Amino acid sequence: MALIRANDTESILAAAMPSLSDSERAAMSRHAGFAHTAVLVFPTTLDGLAAELAQHGITVGAMTPSVVVRDRLSRRYTVPVADLTVGIFHASVPDRLDRPCEVEIFAMVTPPELAHIAADERRHGWENHFALAVPAADAIVLNGLMTVTGTQMRPDGGGYNAHEDSTVLYFRNDHHPAPAYRRLELVSTGRFPDLVTAHRRESVPGTRLLRLLTGAWATQAIATAVELRLPDHLGTTADLATLAAATGCDRESLGRLVRYLSSLGILHASADGYALTDLGRLLRSDGKNSMAALASMYGGPFYRSFAALTDAVRTGAESYERVFGAHHFKHMAADPELAELFHRSMAASNAMFTEVVRLIDFSAARTVVDVAGGNGELLSQVLAAHPCLRGVLVDQPHVLTVAEPALAPFADRCALIPGDFTEVVPTGGDVYLLSRVLHDWDDAQCHTILTTCAANMPEHAELLVIERLLPESAGTESLAIPWDVHMLCNVGGRERTESHYRALLAKAGFTLVDTQPLPLDGYVLRARRER
């Protein structure tokens, strides 16, 4: 009762979910209001309970049978539902803005043989909660509220109470410092069986863990689809029998694979057969920004090296060299077919480069130097967008062979220079590019690369560093987080925060002047030499 009197919707949301933004909190408040707090008590009988509560100044109405909490207790303690009697009593209490609110009292009849349930519930407070009511019963609004709440708290079961015609969805945050705010109930009039089923499924911790543990299976299923050229064949046929003949596969086994790919969102199943989704089209070998080669890399060499991740974590040394007998770059340089696959896989991130050309003003530049430019895709896009620019790409000789086709249309204004960029880079440029290079190396080697650039760049030149950035604070999603482990495992490098790059640049004589986001969680960092 004191909790209700001290709060309203805004304040209880702020206390329970402090990381919500003001706009998110305001949006939730528009669709849901603080409705009640709830506690589970354990009388030996329900007879006379209302009168006993009245002696404590708590006036309650008629009892309503509990369905959801009774079922939760039954499952938690493996007690038959028929052996449990749980009632709900309501007591009106105004919130701090004098709006109507309630204390919801769940009462479980507790004979001696159920005393262990009372002891455990009192210790942990599994059923105690505060509630937000959704007055307009709407599946879309309710789903949106579930989504926002799910970013702050984990699903914790729910159900439908036919006696009250209400759907309840519970969420929990065991790490909240105040027990009163650890559990939330979203309650809405009406029945939403699909939402309840999905929510209860996600409430079982093992469901999410199993989904994570089967991630390797998804990688292999996608890589297998690419190896069978399934996305390419789906451009001309949708029938499973025809697909099996075209790919040389057993029809039943292929059917099991495409069903899995459909569940991953790669394919769409219909009465007419199968079709590629937007995700699936990225796996066509002839598609723009195709990720087919990337799937082959992740399902092939990198899949094998990731199996030795434990060694990398224990030793700090890349596991790729342990598996293949040589560092990633040396091993691929010695195998032209593998090197070609790797460079094609790098093209999967070409979507980043279109935004670089759009965001960066190259109008004052005459020469752009791409340091370790790999397949030449970034430089080719810069030159295509700016016909007056000249380009220089410096990299290892075998890499320049891969870059030649992309830069062939600009042969009259582009030079390909073989060399070790850790020792020297061409002079005379106006803009220097370091795209997805620094994350391949440790801090010491990054310092060498950056100081080499600084020593050879004219004073007016600008350096563009393109990388993914680790979040500065915990709880923010980013592709850089798994890629950081990938770099540990496969090249011995690392992803870094913006602050980390700022410090590396400063140590090498640069000032970071701007950071702009790019697609695929990339960023372009603009730096100039300190004067």
d(CA 266, CA 263): 8
Residue 424: which pLDDT band, with cuts at 50, 70 and 90? confident
Residue 366 and residue 252 share a domain: no
Residue 165 and residue 216 share a domain: no
Residue 216 and residue 198 share a domain: no
**Which among 269, 291, 313 is the end of a domain?**
291
Q: Is the pLDDT of residue 406 over 80?
A: yes
The whole-number pLDDT of residue 137 equals 75
DSSP 229: T
The answer to whether position 304 is within a domain reads no
The CATH number assigned to the domain holding 397 equals: 3.40.50.150
Share of the chain above pLDDT 90, in %: 83
Segment 9-18 shows an average pLDDT of 95
d(CA 439, CA 429): 23
Residue 399: which pLDDT band, with cuts at 50, 70 and 90? confident
The whole-number pLDDT of residue 333 equals 84
Residue 408: which pLDDT band, with cuts at 50, 70 and 90? very high
Segment 467-472 shows an average pLDDT of 96
The whole-number pLDDT of residue 234 equals 93
The whole-number pLDDT of residue 238 equals 86
Segment 9-21 shows an average pLDDT of 93
**Which among 161, 182, 203 is the end of a domain?**
203
The whole-number pLDDT of residue 323 equals 94
Residue 353: which pLDDT band, with cuts at 50, 70 and 90? confident
Task: Give residue-wise pLDDT tens across range 472-520.
Answer: 987 788 999 999 999 999 999 999 999 999 999 999 999 999 999 999 9
Residue 205: which pLDDT band, with cuts at 50, 70 and 90? confident
Reduced 3-state DSSP string for 513-525:
EEEEEEHHHEEEE
Amino acid at 511: T
Residue 180 and residue 287 share a domain: no
The whole-number pLDDT of residue 385 equals 94
Residue 463: which pLDDT band, with cuts at 50, 70 and 90? very high
The answer to whether position 317 is within a domain reads no
Segment 420-442 shows an average pLDDT of 94
Segment 134-163 shows an average pLDDT of 91
The whole-number pLDDT of residue 431 equals 97
The answer to whether position 196 is within a domain reads yes
Residue 475 and residue 417 share a domain: yes
The answer to whether position 318 is within a domain reads no
The whole-number pLDDT of residue 473 equals 85
The answer to whether position 332 is within a domain reads no
Tell me the catalytic residues. Answer: 439
Count Cα atoms within 13 angstroms, Cβ side, for 29. 15
Residue 143: which pLDDT band, with cuts at 50, 70 and 90? very high
**Which among 143, 177, 203 is the end of a domain?**
203
Residue 433 and residue 512 share a domain: yes
Contacts of 474 (CB under 8 A, 6+ apart): none
The whole-number pLDDT of residue 187 equals 94
The CATH number assigned to the domain holding 7 equals: 3.10.180.10
Q: Is the pLDDT of residue 103 over 90?
A: yes
Q: Is the pLDDT of residue 248 over 90?
A: yes
Distances (CA, A) of 394 to 97, 334, 387, 486: 68, 20, 20, 26
Residue 405 and residue 494 share a domain: yes
The answer to whether position 312 is within a domain reads no
The whole-number pLDDT of residue 163 equals 86
Find out whether 324 and 301 touch, Cβ atoms under 8 Å. yes
The answer to whether position 301 is within a domain reads no
Segment 378-406 shows an average pLDDT of 93
The whole-number pLDDT of residue 301 equals 95
The whole-number pLDDT of residue 46 equals 95
Find out whether 467 and 438 touch, Cβ atoms under 8 Å. yes
The whole-number pLDDT of residue 65 equals 93
**Torsion sign (Cα): 241, 245, 246, 248:** positive
The whole-number pLDDT of residue 476 equals 83
Q: What is the DSSP string of 330-349?
A: HHHHT-HHHHHHHHHHHGGG
Residue 31's domain comprises: 1-203
Q: Is the pLDDT of residue 372 over 80?
A: yes
Residue 88 and residue 68 share a domain: yes
Residue 276 and residue 245 share a domain: yes
Mean pLDDT of the chain: 93
The whole-number pLDDT of residue 471 equals 95
Segment 128-140 shows an average pLDDT of 90
Residue 242 and residue 184 share a domain: no
Find out whether 461 and 491 touch, Cβ atoms under 8 Å. no
Segment 358-385 shows an average pLDDT of 94
* Number of domains comprising the chain: 3
Task: Give residue-wise pLDDT tens across range 51-79.
Answer: 999 999 999 999 999 998 999 999 999 99
The CATH number assigned to the domain holding 285 equals: 1.10.10.10
Residue 223 and residue 175 share a domain: no
- Cα 60 to the center of its chain, rounded Å: 46
Residue 477 and residue 413 share a domain: yes
Find out whether 247 and 236 touch, Cβ atoms under 8 Å. no
Q: Is the pLDDT of residue 531 over 80?
A: no
Q: Is the pLDDT of residue 427 over 90?
A: yes
The answer to whether position 337 is within a domain reads no
Contacts of 430 (CB under 8 A, 6+ apart): 364, 365, 366, 367, 368, 458, 460, 461, 462
Segment 365-373 shows an average pLDDT of 96
d(CA 89, CA 29): 26
Share of the chain above pLDDT 70, in %: 100
